[in-house]
Amino acid sequence: MCYHLSQGVQSDRLKERYRAKNFKEQDKIKPVYHASAFSFLPWPVITNHEPDTIQAMHWGLIPAWAKSQDDAQKLRTNTLNARIETIFEKPSFREAAHKKHCLVLATGFFEWQTVGAKKYPYYIHLKDEEIFSMAGIWETWTDKKSGETRETFSILTTEANPLMAQIHNSKQRMPVILSKETELNWLQKGFDETTINSFAKPFDENKMVAHTVSRFISEKYSNTPDVLKPYTYPEFMQTSLF
């Protein structure tokens, strides 16, 4: 699945890349070199409702029908990712899948390869694109008790391409990565069981690159540029995959 992201550029660079006219709560978006989904950090997204605007949303989708704060907290830990193949079957995702698509902005992501009894972390990014988009869905939830409103999102996943199947060999999944040419299509189309299938294809492995990184990624203070640096494991010499 996809639980670890990197977004290592300043907000102005994001605005330039997506030609955004507006950037809501821009002060909340800082470079994040490693973020775990379970930290529920605000993350830059672009929604189908405001395709010319970047805004901050929290990872972990809370469906509109969640009854209480406790329900919301429990649900979001299980909605960090959504399998694109079954998205219309899941009550938590169904409404958003039909009506609320978004781009989740990133510069890379992390996955672990299992070799014997050990796991090796990899950093994965695109060869020719500093910033890219993952397909997401989003939702607005209002706490009836406090009146507080939250906007949250989930990242869609699909079957792994050969590169990601080699790295994420335990689950063989990967995020749905959109090319520049399909970003607007994701925001404007693909809102039913038929049209969404065109987005379920794994991204071209020849446009991706990956290398092993240090287990420093598992430390509490791993949100530094050092977390992205290639690291060679003596017992596991292959450190880059193309």
pLDDT per residue as tens digits for the range 10-68: 999 999 999 999 999 888 899 999 999 999 889 999 999 999 999 999 999 999 999 98
pLDDT at 237 (0 to 100): 60
What's the rounded Cα separation, in Å, for the pair 35 and 105?
13
Give the per-residue pLDDT at 28.
86
| pLDDT, tens digit (0-9, with 9 covering 90-100), for 65-78 | 999 899 999 999 99
Q: Is the pLDDT at 109 greater than 90, yes or no?
A: yes
What gap in Å lies between CA 234 and CA 128, rounded to an integer? 30
Tell me the pLDDT band of 192, cut-offs 50, 70 and 90: confident
- Where does the pLDDT of residue 241 fall: very low under 50, low under 70, confident under 90, or very high at 90 and above? low
CATH superfamily ID and name for 4-234 = SOS response associated peptidase-like (3.90.1680.10)
Domain boundaries along the sequence of the chain: 4-234
Three-state SS for the chain is CCCEEEECCCHHHHHHHHCCCEECCHHHCCCEEEEEHHHCCEEEEEECCCCCEEEEEEECCCCCCCCCHHHHHHHHCCCCEEEHHHCCCCHHHHHHHHHCEEEEEECEEEEEEEECCEEEEEEEEECCCCCEEEEEEEEEEECCCCCCEEEEEEEEEEECCHHHHHHCCCCCEEECEECHHHHHHHHHCCCCCCHHHHHCCCCCHHHEEEEEECHHHHCCCCCCHHHHCECCECCECCCEEC
Share of the chain above pLDDT 70, in %: 97
- Is residue 190 over pLDDT 80? no
